[in-house]
C-alpha cells in the first residue's frame, strides 16, 4: 500500500543542514495499523508527509497505492491526496465554522454534488458518533470531539489510507483511548490502512500491529508490535518500551538485591501469549538449593495477546542458576540477565 525506499531528506536549517531522513525505507501493507514512534526531531513528521507529497524526498522513491509519487503531475497528485486522509495533532479545523461545513469541505473540493455531500456528511458523523453535533460550531466542542470531526473530515472522501500526525498527543488519557478505539474501528470496519506517528508508546501498544522506532532520521528498529516489545534490540527501543512496560528492578528492592551476600543472578523474563505451557515459576521454586524472589511483575495486553514480564532474583550456586536458566529457556520464555550494579 505504501512503499518508501531509501528516502533521504535534508532541510536547509540556516547555519547547518538538518538531516530529517537518512536513507529510510518503510513498507506498509494493506490493512496495517503501522505506528512510527520516536522522540521529537527524529524525522517521523517528515516521513509521514512523504506519503501524501506534502514533502518530497531529495532522493529515494515513494510509491503509494501503486503510484510513484515522483512520476505524478501536480493534478494527479491532488487527485491522489483525496484518497489519503490526514488527521492532525492540533486538529486544523475551521474553528469558526460548523461541524457540517468542516466535514463537507473535502467533498466540495472534489466537486461532489450537494445532495450526496449532505448524505455522506451524515454518514461519517454517525460513524464518529457526532451526528447530534452537525450544526454545532467547532469552537464549542471539546478536544476529543474536535478530533472526531478531524477524523470525520479525513474519512469523508472514503480514503484508502489515513495518516495520523500525533492525533492523540493533545488529548487527555481517557480521550486518547476513545480516539484510538475509533481509529481501530476505522481500520476494521472501513478497511482503511493507517499510518500514524506518535511519541506515546501506549498508542502503539493499543492499536498498532506493526511498529518502527525512529531516531536521528533513521529507522532504528521495526517489526510486529509483539516482537519489538518482546525483544527490543536497540537502546532507543528499550527506552520506549520501558515507558509502558516496566522492566526495571524497583528502587526499593535494589538495595536489598545489592546487599545480598550469597551468589545470585537477577533475570528478566517475558512470556508472550500462551507460549509457556508449564507452571514455570512454581517449578523453579521447587528446585533444590535455589531461592526464587519475584522482584517485579506486570501484564500488558497488546495485539489481542498478553505479555507478562517477571523480574526474578535467583539465589544459589552458579550450577543451580545455570540449571534454572536452562529450565526457563526450555519452557519458551524470553530471558535476559540483568546487571544489578554495585
Partner 1 sequence: MTETFETRFKEIFGIKWPKLLESLGQTVYMLGWALLIGAVIGLFLALLLVLCRKGGLKQNRVIYAIVNFYVNIVRSMPFIITLVFVFPLTRLIVGKTYGSTAMLVPLVIYISPYMARLIENSLLEVSPGVIEAAQAMGATTFQIIIRFLLPEALSSIVLAMTTGTVGLLGATAMAGYVGGGGVGDLALTYGYQRYNFPLLILTIVILVIFVQLLQLLGNRISGRLRKHR
Q: Give the sign of the dihedral formed by CA 234, CA 238, CA 241, CA 245.
A: positive
Q: Which is nearer to partner 1, 40 or 174 (CB)?
A: 40
142 contacts partner 1 (rule: CB under 8 A): no
Residue of 69, 86, 192, 197 that binds partner 1 (CB under 8 A): 86
CA distance 100 to 102: 5
Q: CB of residue 164 vs partner 1: minimum separation in angstroms?
A: 12
Q: CB of residue 249 vs partner 1: minimum separation in angstroms?
A: 44
Residue of 3, 67, 88, 296 that binds partner 1 (CB under 8 A): 88
96 contacts partner 1 (rule: CB under 8 A): yes
Nearest Cα neighbor of 162 from 83, 256, 55 is 83
Q: Which of residues 46-65 bind partner 1 (CB under 8 A)?
A: 52, 54
CA distance 225 to 241: 10
149 contacts partner 1 (rule: CB under 8 A): no
Is-contact 36 48, C-beta < 8 A? yes
Q: Which of the ranges 57-65, 94-102, 310-318, 326-334 carries the binding residues for partner 1, by CB under 8 A?
A: 94-102
CA distance 342 to 110: 66
95 contacts partner 1 (rule: CB under 8 A): yes
Q: CB of residue 146 vs partner 1: minimum separation in angstroms?
A: 12
213 contacts partner 1 (rule: CB under 8 A): no
109 contacts partner 1 (rule: CB under 8 A): yes
Residue of 13, 68, 70, 110 that binds partner 1 (CB under 8 A): 110
Residue 226, classified by CB atoms within 10 Å of its CB into exposed (0-12), middle (13-18) or buried (19+), is middle
Phi and psi at 245, nearest 5°, equal: -120, 115
Is-contact 190 155, C-beta < 8 A? yes
The cell for 120 is 455522506
Q: Which of residues 278-307 bind partner 1 (CB under 8 A)?
A: none
Using CB under 8 A as the binding criterion, the count of chain residues that bind partner 1 stands at 29
Cβ atoms within 10 Å of 189's Cβ, excluding its own: 9
Q: Which is nearer to partner 1, 108 or 224 (CB)?
A: 108
79 contacts partner 1 (rule: CB under 8 A): yes
Nearest Cα neighbor of 181 from 207, 211, 148, 146 is 207
Residue of 70, 119, 139, 243 that binds partner 1 (CB under 8 A): 139
Distance set, CA 99 to CA 44, 93, 147, 198, 325 (Å): 30, 9, 11, 26, 60
Q: CB of residue 106 vs partner 1: minimum separation in angstroms?
A: 5
Q: Which residues bind partner 1 (CB under 8 A)?
A: 52, 54, 77-82, 84, 86, 88, 90, 92-97, 105-106, 108-110, 137-140, 157, 163
Amino acid at each position: 500500500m505504501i512503499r518508501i525506499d531509501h528516502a533521504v531528506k535534508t532541510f536547509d536549517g540556516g547555519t547547518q543542514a538538518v538531516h530529517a531522513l537518512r536513507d529510510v525505507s518503510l513498507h506498509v501493507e494493506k490493512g496495517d495499523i503501522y505506528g512510527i514512534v520516536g522522540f521529537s526531531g527524529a524525522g517521523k513528521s517528515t516521513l509521514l508527509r512523504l506519503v501524501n507529497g506534502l514533502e518530497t524526498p531529495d532522493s529515494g522513491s515513494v510509491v503509494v497505492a501503486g503510484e510513484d509519487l515522483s512520476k505524478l503531475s501536480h493534478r494527479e497528485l491532488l487527485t491522489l491526496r483525496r484518497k489519503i486522509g490526514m488527521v492532525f495533532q492540533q486538529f486544523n479545523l475551521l474553528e469558526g465554522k460548523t461541524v457540517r461545513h468542516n466535514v463537507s469541505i473535502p467533498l466540495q473540493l472534489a466537486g461532489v454534488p450537494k445532495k450526496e455531500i449532505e448524505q455522506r456528511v451524515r454518514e461519517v458523523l454517525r460513524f464518529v458518533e457526532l451526528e447530534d453535533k452537525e450544526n454545532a460550531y467547532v469552537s464549542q466542542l471539546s478536544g476529543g470531539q474536535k478530533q472526531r470531526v478531524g477524523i470525520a473530515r479525513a474519512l469523508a472522501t472514503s480514503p484508502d489510507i489515513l495518516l495520523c500526525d500525533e492525533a492523540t498527543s493533545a488529548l487527555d488519557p481517557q480521550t486518547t483511548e476513545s480516539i484510538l478505539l475509533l481509529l481501530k474501528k476505522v481500520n476494521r470496519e472501513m478497511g482503511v490502512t493507517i499510518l500514524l506517528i506518535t511519541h506515546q508508546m501506549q498508542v502503539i501498544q493499543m492499536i498498532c500491529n506493526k511498529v518502527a522506532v525512529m531516531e536521528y532520521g533513521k529507522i532504528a528498529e521495526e517489526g510486529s508490535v509483539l516482537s519489538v516489545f518482546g525483544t527490543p534490540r536497540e537502546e532507543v527501543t528499550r527506552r520506549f518500551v520501558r515507558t509502558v512496560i516496566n522492566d526495571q528492578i524497583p528502587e526499593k528492592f535494589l538495595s536489598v538485591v545489592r546487599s545480598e551476600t550469597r551468589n545470585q543472578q537477577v533475570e528478566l523474563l517475558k512470556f508472550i501469549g500462551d507460549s509457556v505451557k508449564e507452571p514455570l515459576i512454581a517449578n523453579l521454586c521447587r528446585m533444590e538449593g535455589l531461592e526464587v524472589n519475584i522482584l517485579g511483575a506486570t501484564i500488558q495486553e497488546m495485539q489481542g495477546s498478553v505479555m507478562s514480564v517477571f523480574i526474578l532474583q535467583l539465589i544459589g550456586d552458579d550450577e543451580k542458576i545455570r540449571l534454572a536458566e536452562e529450565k526457563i529457556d526450555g519452557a519458551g520464555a524470553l530471558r535476559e540477565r540483568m546487571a544489578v550494579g554495585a
